[in-house]
């Protein structure tokens, strides 16, 4: 494709993809399939690589983020980002209304908005194009998280229409929906990582991650709720938000204009009950004077605006009796104590069980069987015990003894230094761990075997058809057909899915093995570094930690896995089954221009992400290494290269090259 054709097609694809992003993530009205969307995105990615001179930081391809290690820059807010005063009852709310009326000497309409439970953000646009995203910080200065904001697909990079101000700021709340939060915690549990406490903390932590490609995986969302600028469309805050919705911003459909404080109170009462049905958390209602000129007239205190206030809902808490404690075994062997409660109604549902997390929490609360305990949901999806009524404790209270042996297989539990949870070390013989490993193995991001679910795996294990993941490759259709809710067609689909999984690339197979701490990203890095399972199985601790982002804990876990007889036997059986245990030759033509040369990549780059540069090194015969040594040939250095790496490179006399010089080497 010639240059003129390329830029025309790139512009067409960018416009189409932004349109579909808006329809899907803002309006929830998709008009094309995910497959068709992905085809267009891949075409755009290919063109942008072939014609890097047309790079645009706001292109839809940049939504996936990059692996750039960012150090957030502090930026001064153009308009101070103050927090709101809080109120918790009707009387304080009416006092606020009286103060407003007294200062204005008249009544003023209010705008009522849901108070999203996330993290505040300020977005700046110039000529309809997204420029930067800044966190609240201390109100005067915030962190520049622009690269991470670009990955949030409900935030438009380019606005619709042409009637927006030349320059303005719009503020909102970045949050994580219940669905995204549950999905994240499920993935973390599968990977053996600690679970996130609640969606609010998960959203705030995600936005401050140093790797924007990881942010892109978390499913953050954003509602916008306030506009600032010199030439806004209207003096009405309510009308400005309506305009923002037309420009492509995601604005809540639950905003209401209230003529007086009585209507405000009715709105609050309604959402205090109805909030349990929302797909995200809110912790109150925000009330603002609608007129911007009246807002300016009312002004600010030293800490907050006089024209707005936040009504905070009380966290729902109930008291009930602790009947017993069960101990559950997860896929990774982590033991989780679960409280069995006298059933009680809380936040729209009957609660019978609550998480106790670990032994430390039981000790902190001095918890005993038959205690009267306080249970909350609050921002939590899963109910939790938040306290004990010690005054009501009587002689029926029974000490809780934390188990020392696995309740499923009897193995002695271990608790490693620095770990909050106890673990069952019997990972290859403990039934819940075996079934959990099989479920992880067949999952979409691993071997992606269709037709198999948790119930079917449990049934096949119970019937003795499979004893571990290797048993899947010995299954016959005749064995599956007699199973409950299984027919000829379903059985055939499962067998075909298992056979097709033999074409799964090595990095996904490695992830599917379920080695503790080896998640999807780590598996990809290990596969690229060692190229096949034999090299990886023989790697020393030093070899492993030399790989980018592989730390001591991961290295020790990998070595332990490949030293175990069970791990070795499992790999041998999967090799016989025909799974891929080495990196395949890439279809793209390689050169040997970098043959025998090793590179360390450090810093932030303009044209390519670090992962893309690493791929280019491999495709041209070079080798990526994670740490600088005398054997390193080049440092590929970008902006914000770490000072310690710079010092070491200079000390060893290693040649440093920039992105353009590197691209010239492989031209």
Chain-centroid distance of CA 14 in Å reads 25
Phi, psi of 455 (to 5 degrees): -65, -40
- Per DSSP bridges, beta strands 398-399 and 368-369 are antiparallel
Block residue for tokens 């935030």: 155
The DSSP line for 479-529 is: HHTTSTT--HHHHHHHHHHHHHGGG--HHHHHHHTT-TT--HHHHHHHHHH
The DSSP call for residue 431 is H
Q: Do 426 and 417 contact (CB within 8 A), yes or no?
A: no
CA distance from start to end of the chain: 18
Q: Do 501 and 577 contact (CB within 8 A), yes or no?
A: no
Chain-centroid distance of CA 4 in Å reads 39
Write down the catalytic residue from 8, 78, 102, 115.
115
Q: Do 279 and 177 contact (CB within 8 A), yes or no?
A: yes
Using CA atoms, how far residue 62 sits from 44, 234, 609, 613, in Å, is 11, 33, 10, 16
The DSSP call for residue 53 is G
Task: Report the C-alpha gap between 294 and 456 in whole angstroms.
Answer: 63
3-state DSSP assignment of residue 604: strand
Task: Report the C-alpha gap between 352 and 39 in whole angstroms.
Answer: 47
Using CA atoms, how far residue 51 sits from 1, 9, 314, 559, 590, in Å, is 10, 12, 56, 43, 19
Q: Do 412 and 404 contact (CB within 8 A), yes or no?
A: yes
Residue 115 designated active-site: yes
Task: Report the C-alpha gap between 250 and 241 in whole angstroms.
Answer: 10
Q: Do 623 and 615 contact (CB within 8 A), yes or no?
A: no
Using CA atoms, how far residue 562 sits from 211, 240, 330, 535, in Å, is 30, 61, 22, 11
Question: If we measure between CA atoms, which residue out of 481, 546, 557 comes closest to residue 516?
Answer: 557
Dihedral sign, CA of 137, 143, 146, 148? negative
List, by residue number, the catalytic residues: 115
């Amino acid at each position: 494709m010639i240059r003129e054709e390329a830029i025309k097609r790139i512009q067409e694809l960018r416009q189409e993809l932004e349109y579909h992003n808006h329809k899907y993530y803002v309006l929830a009205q998709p008009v094309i399939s995910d497959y068709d969307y992905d085809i267009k995105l891949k075409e755009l990615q290919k063109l942008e690589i072939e014609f890097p001179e047309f790079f645009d930081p706001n292109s839809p391809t940049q939504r996936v983020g990059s692996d750039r290690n960012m150090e957030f820059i502090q930026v001064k807010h153009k308009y101070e980002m103050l927090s709101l005063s809080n109120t918790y009852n009707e009387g304080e709310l009416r006092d606020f209304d009286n103060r407003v009326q007294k200062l204005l000497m008249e009544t003023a309409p209010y705008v009522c908005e849901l108070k999203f439970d996330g993290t505040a953000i300020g977005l700046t646009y110039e000529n309809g194009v997204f420029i930067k995203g800044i966190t609240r910080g201390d109100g005067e200065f915030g962190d520049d998280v622009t690269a991470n904001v670009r990955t949030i697909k409900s935030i438009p990079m380019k606005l619709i229409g042409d009637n927006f101000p030349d320059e303005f700021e719009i503020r909102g709340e970045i949050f994580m929906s219940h669905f995204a939060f549950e999905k994240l915690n499920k993935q973390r549990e599968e990977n053996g990582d600690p679970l996130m406490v609640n969606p609010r903390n998960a959203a705030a932590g995600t936005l401050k991650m140093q790797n924007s490609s990881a942010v892109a995986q978390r499913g953050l969302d954003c509602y916008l709720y306030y506009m600032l600028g010199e030439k806004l469309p209207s003096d009405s805050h309510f009308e400005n938000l309506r305009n923002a919705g037309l420009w492509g911003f995601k604005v809540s459909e639950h905003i209401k204009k209230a003529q007086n404080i009585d209507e405000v109170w009715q709105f609050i009462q309604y959402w205090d009950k109805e909030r349990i049905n929302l797909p995200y958390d809110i912790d109150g209602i925000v009330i603002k004077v609608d007129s911007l000129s009246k807002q300016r007239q009312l002004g600010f205190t030293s800490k907050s605006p006089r024209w707005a206030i936040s009504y905070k809902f009380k966290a729902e808490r109930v008291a009930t009796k602790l009947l017993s404690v069960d101990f559950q075994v997860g896929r990774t062997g982590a033991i989780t104590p679960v409280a069995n409660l006298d059933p009680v109604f809380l936040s729209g549902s009957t609660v019978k069980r609550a998480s106790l997390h670990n032994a430390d929490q039981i000790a902190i609360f001095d918890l005993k069987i038959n205690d009267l305990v306080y249970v909350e949901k609050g921002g939590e999806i899963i109910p939790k015990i938040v306290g004990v009524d010690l005054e009501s404790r009587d002689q029926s209270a029974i000490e809780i003894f934390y188990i020392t042996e696995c309740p499923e297989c009897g193995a002695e539990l271990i608790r490693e230094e620095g770990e909050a949870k106890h673990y069952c070390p019997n990972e290859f013989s403990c039934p819940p761990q075996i079934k959990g490993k099989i479920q992880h193995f067949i999952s979409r991001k691993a071997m992606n075997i269709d037709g198999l679910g948790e119930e079917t795996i449990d049934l096949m294990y119970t019937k003795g058809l499979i004893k571990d993941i290797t048993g899947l490759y010995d299954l016959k259709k005749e064995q599956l057909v007699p199973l409950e809710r299984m027919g000829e067609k379903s059985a055939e689909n499962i067998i075909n899915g298992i056979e097709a999984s033999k074409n799964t690339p090595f990095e996904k197979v490695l992830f599917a093995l379920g080695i503790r701490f080896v998640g999807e990203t780590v598996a990809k890095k290990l596969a690229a570094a060692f190229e096949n399972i034999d090299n990886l199985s023989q790697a020393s601790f030093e070899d492993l930690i030399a790989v980018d982002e592989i730390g001591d804990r991961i290295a020790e876990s990998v070595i332990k896995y490949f030293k175990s007889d069970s791990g070795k036997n499992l790999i041998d059986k999967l090799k016989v089954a025909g799974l891929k245990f080495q990196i395949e030759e890439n279809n793209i033509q390689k050169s040997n221009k970098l043959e025998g040369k090793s590179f360390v990549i450090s810093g932030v780059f303009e044209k390519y992400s670090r992962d893309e540069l690493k791929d280019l090194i491999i495709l041209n015969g070079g080798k990526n290494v994670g740490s600088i040594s005398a054997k390193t040939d080049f440092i590929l250095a970008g902006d914000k290269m770490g000072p310690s790496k710079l010092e070491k490179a200079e000390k060893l006399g290693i040649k440093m090259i920039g992105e353009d010089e590197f691209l010239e080497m492989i031209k």
